[in-house]
Chain A
Amino acid sequence: MNANQEFMDERMLHAFLDGELDGAHEEVLFRSLSSNPDLRAEMQDNLAIRRAIQHDTEAFTPPTAATAAVFGALGFSIPSAASVAAGAAAGNLLRRLWMSGGSAVLAVAAAILLYLQFPLPAESDAQRVVSLPASELTVRETPALGDLPVSGPVTTVAASVLPREAPAVQPAESDIPLVRDASQPLALRPVGTLASGRDGRKDVRYVHGGELRMYEVLPVPTGFTLQVRNVALRANPAPRTVSQSEPWFRNINIGLMYALSDNHSIGIEAGQEAFPQNYNGIEDGGAVRYEQNPLAYWATAVYQFNGDALLPHVHPFAQVQLGGAVQLGALARATAGIKFKPFERIAIVIGAEGSMLLYRFQDKLFQTDKLGLTYGLAYEF
């Protein structure tokens, strides 16, 4: 078969697959297909590509955020995700809901923090938390280390009270990090070393792995607090353009605070946020006005005042922040609200927040103000 015939066959094949081949040429093509295995292979390849494309659900599923942006920009109410993205996979939908709300992020963070706060006892692998009165150290008749009652501000279990069958082996290197802060006044023994926290409260976790049996002593809080917040702010000027991108962490702030005292903390906080900007100037001899809504990273230093409890577990707080948004300008924020502390180390933060971005264009200063709500979680460690 010559090259020209081959070329013609291929063109006819593609036209046929696209429904564009007339009847007369179809017969010619069919004859070629019956005698030319390469042409049949090409047809199969093209059909395989087409089948794959038909399953390209990602391409045919517009993101919910994009739909919301379109309808929002036109002043229409946003249709339900179900009606717009009918046929989208459930996983897709969940992922997009996550991205738009960020609530699942907070839920996961809460779950992790709760897990860290309350390590679950698991009998099967002998991991448990034990405590006992401060003045006593008692050992049950058939003590298994996992059952040892423990007490005392700083208490060491004497080797003689330990079960004989528990061999005193050196801890493996990998086990050493069980004691998290070597600078704390904790004593570590191959078997059964106990200690207490600053406030006399016992937080002793017993762990063993294989032949090695150890106590992990949970360190007391060091004064650091990790804070994750979401902010829902209304801006002045209001955004008239859609931001260039929509990352999942938009409007989520992450901060690290250090407590100077019971009431005063300092730290840093950073996040990513869209800052609507309207400004004007002179270009090419004419007045020009710019409207944009750039998404920018920002970071600030934070001072936080924490008040005494107004109600059980409810503390007021206020904070001010000074810093900047990358490539935009100076940023100031102020927040006031409450922290609800249902657990010792975890606080749910709710408050009102205002921010002001100052930026310069042609030696003139412009500003973007925002006001809204903030909510999140803080974890002391």
Chain B
Amino acid sequence: MSGKSTHSLPDAELFSCLSGEKEVAEAAFSELYARYSGRVYAYCLRFLGNRDEAQDVYQETFIRFYECAKQDREMTNVPGFLLKIARNLCLNTRRNQKRTVEFEDYQYLVPPKSAETSEFLQLITTALDMIPDDYREVFILREYEGLSYAEIAEVVDSSLSNVKVRIFRAKQKIRDILTPYIREFSEDS
């Protein structure tokens, strides 16, 4: 990597650098973080619908990613790998949610809405909270992450046909929930 800017390096090369010397690993990690932190955070935030939980999972995702990278030298799909880690952690969080609520931050269960989030976006995130997890995750991977159906199938470890059906139903449900508002807000956007 010496002499070359990390910006120009492909993911796979940066990933292999993560197992190298600390200085090199740090530069490579910073570059990968800059490339994919937004997408990972978007997945965590919109899947969990809770900012504090999303931050915890998001942090854990990158820490685990780095730990894995120190052992594996080859990776062809870094964003897919990151999203897979994030997904597993999100699902774990969901499973443990009830227990967590008893001890931690129960006052933050309702996700606070920031001022810059438009009203229509708030409706979309509310609609996302209302659909089942397996629909929500494929919707986020498709609409937020821009993954193809095949890539989504890889991340969620499911068949292509199953993913197609889930995406279709997720979109239908979201649209059904938003139908009363969608005309009004789509004109503003």
A52 engages B185 (CB within 8 Å)? yes
- Please report the C-alpha to C-alpha distance between residue A73 and residue B56 in the assembled complex, in whole angstroms: 12
B52 engages A244 (CB within 8 Å)? yes
Residue in B41, B56, B120, B124 whose beta carbon sits within 8 Å of that of A60 in the complex:
B41
B174 engages A49 (CB within 8 Å)? yes
User: Is residue B21 within 8 Å, beta carbon to beta carbon, of the partner chain?
Assistant: no
How far does the Cβ of B32 sit from chain A's closest Cβ, in whole Å? 11
How far does the Cβ of A295 sit from chain B's closest Cβ, in whole Å? 8
User: Is residue B118 within 8 Å, beta carbon to beta carbon, of the partner chain?
Assistant: yes
A49 engages B41 (CB within 8 Å)? no
B171 engages A46 (CB within 8 Å)? yes
Given the complex, which residues of A lie within 8 Å of B39, measured CB to CB?
Answer: 60
Given the complex, which residues of B lie within 8 Å of A74, measured CB to CB?
Answer: 29, 62-63, 66
How far does the Cβ of A179 sit from chain B's closest Cβ, in whole Å? 39
Which chain A residues (48-95) contact chain B, with CB distance < 8 Å? 48-53, 55-63, 65-67, 69-70, 73-77, 79, 83-84, 86, 89, 91-92
A18 engages B124 (CB within 8 Å)? no
How far does the Cβ of B41 sit from chain A's closest Cβ, in whole Å? 4
- Please report the C-alpha to C-alpha distance between residue A20 and residue B149 in the assembled complex, in whole angstroms: 8
A44 engages B186 (CB within 8 Å)? yes
1/0 per residue, CB under 8 A from A, across B171-184: the answer is 11011001100100
Residue in B26, B116, B142, B174 whose beta carbon sits within 8 Å of that of A18 in the complex:
B142
Binds B, one of A9-17, A210-218, A306-314: A9-17
B189 engages A55 (CB within 8 Å)? yes
Given the complex, which residues of A lie within 8 Å of B157, measured CB to CB?
Answer: none
How far does the Cβ of B38 sit from chain A's closest Cβ, in whole Å? 4
User: Is residue A42 within 8 Å, beta carbon to beta carbon, of the partner chain?
Assistant: yes
Which chain A residues (229-249) contact chain B, with CB distance < 8 Å? 242, 244-246
User: Is residue B58 within 8 Å, beta carbon to beta carbon, of the partner chain?
Assistant: yes
Given the complex, which residues of A lie within 8 Å of B92, measured CB to CB?
Answer: none
Closest B-chain residue to A59, C-beta based?
B42
- Please report the C-alpha to C-alpha distance between residue A380 and residue B185 in the assembled complex, in whole angstroms: 51
B55 engages A58 (CB within 8 Å)? no
- Please report the C-alpha to C-alpha distance between residue A60 and residue B178 in the assembled complex, in whole angstroms: 22
Residue in B55, B103, B124, B179 whose beta carbon sits within 8 Å of that of A63 in the complex:
B55
User: Is residue A26 within 8 Å, beta carbon to beta carbon, of the partner chain?
Assistant: no
Given the complex, which residues of A lie within 8 Å of B63, measured CB to CB?
Answer: 70, 73-74
User: Is residue A45 within 8 Å, beta carbon to beta carbon, of the partner chain?
Assistant: yes
A48 engages B37 (CB within 8 Å)? no
User: Is residue B164 within 8 Å, beta carbon to beta carbon, of the partner chain?
Assistant: yes
Given the complex, which residues of B lie within 8 Å of A60, measured CB to CB?
Answer: 38-39, 41-42, 144
Which chain B residues (148-167) contact chain A, with CB distance < 8 Å? 148-149, 164, 167
Residue in A44, A56, A73 whose beta carbon sits within 8 Å of that of B121 in the complex:
A56
How far does the Cβ of B131 sit from chain A's closest Cβ, in whole Å? 13
User: Is residue B84 within 8 Å, beta carbon to beta carbon, of the partner chain?
Assistant: no
Residue in B59, B108, B118, B178 whose beta carbon sits within 8 Å of that of A73 in the complex:
B59
1/0 per residue, CB under 8 A from A, across B36-50: the answer is 011111100110000
Q: Besides the contacts A20-B148, A52-B185, A67-B37, what 18 more A-B pairs have beta carbons closer than 8 Å?
A: A11-B164, A19-B148, A49-B143, A55-B118, A56-B42, A56-B144, A58-B114, A59-B45, A62-B37, A62-B38, A70-B63, A74-B29, A75-B22, A79-B33, A83-B30, A242-B56, A242-B59, A295-B105
Please name the 9 residue pairs, one residue from A and one from B, whose CB atoms are nearest each other, closest first: A48-B186, A60-B38, A59-B42, A62-B41, A245-B52, A70-B62, A66-B55, A76-B26, A62-B37
11 contacts between A and B (CB under 8 A): A18-B167, A50-B143, A51-B186, A58-B114, A59-B41, A62-B38, A74-B62, A84-B34, A242-B56, A245-B52, A245-B104
